[in-house]
Amino acid sequence: MGRTTRRLRAATRGSALALWQTEHVAALVRVAHPDVEIEPVVVETTADRRLDIPIAAMGGKGVFVKEVQAALLDGRADLAVHSAKDLPSTTVDGLALAAVPTRADPRDVLVGATLDALAPGAHVATGSARRRVQLAHARPDLRFSGLRGNIATRLQRVGEFDAVVMAKAALDRLGLTPDVVEVLDADVVVPQVGQGALAIECRADDAEVLGLLAAITDAESRRVLDAERAFLAELGGDCNLPAGAHAVVVDGAIRLTGVLASTDERVLRRLTLEGGDGEAIGRDLARRILAEVERGQPLA
């Protein structure tokens, strides 16, 4: 007798990038468990429909995942595939962060021009306060406008602006190669928490799916993501402060760099800590950097 195929339903947004990510997770699962097939359950989110409203005005972090998580909680899906950067820093009751595959490049890119080549007063498009405040520190002369939409839509609008900022991982995953792209070093623009990583959730009481998904977790990627999420959680979880964090493993220890700006964006501070316990480092870094921003310390 042949094997019985186990079919799992994966909740996902419907963008080309989200569908690519879900198929990528399905492929990883097939390698680990050849008798398991994953089929997408597409969830159209309010945030995807209402491109005219800034993310901060819709509630900030979490607006892209709430309706996907609802499909998981009400039984329409067995797991959910998210961009880790979209997840709030605390896990929803009833759900578990079951797997974090190997992380892609977390850095941001500038499309349309390099930072040094931008003319004085150049117009840069980004809907992210984190990106805007760091680029403004590097180039105080730049002008900024908000921009939302999927990757293809934003690339189409590059000609309307001198440059557009987006995530390198998104371009890489979709195989997109714009004519002019500058990868922004994490020392220039600290990435968003979780950028480049995928986060797969399932119901916390679903022992079978938890066990299946454990096989596709990359231990180092999970470790650095946990450190970055701890940093964000200590700052207030879903706060709208312009903040970013980037963790790497160096000789077995976590090296975590965080950036935070004041709400008026006039004070920007970046700090780095290193230690064995990534989550403890994340919490400690958040407390230190928040204290320095509140004291009005400039960027070091």
CB count within 10 Å of CB 287 equals 13
| Alpha carbon distance 17, 150 (integer Å) | 8
| Alpha carbon distance 163, 109 (integer Å) | 10
Contacts (Cβ under 8 Å, ≥6 apart) of 50? 58
The pair of structure tokens assigned to 286 is 């958040």
Q: Which amino acid is at 152?
A: A
Q: Are 246 and 190 in contact (CB under 8 A)?
A: yes
Q: Are 80 and 12 in contact (CB under 8 A)?
A: yes
SS3 assignment, position 77: coil
Q: Are 264 and 243 in contact (CB under 8 A)?
A: no
What are the phi and psi torsion angles at 269 (to 5°)? -135, 140
Q: Measuring CA to CA, which residue among 5, 70, 78 is closest to residue 40?
A: 78
Q: Are 70 and 174 in contact (CB under 8 A)?
A: no
Q: Of 86, 162, 206, 226, which residue is the catalytic one?
A: 86
The sheet with strand 36-42 has its strands ordered as 36-42, 6-12, 79-83, 198-203, 95-99
Give the CA distances from residue 63 to residues 31, 74, 82, 85, 136, in Å, rounded to whole numbers and listed in that order. Answer: 32, 18, 12, 11, 26
Give the CA distances from residue 98 to residues 6, 35, 82, 203, in Å, rounded to whole numbers and listed in that order. Answer: 18, 19, 12, 9
SS3 assignment, position 52: coil
Active site residue 172: no
Positions marked catalytic:
86
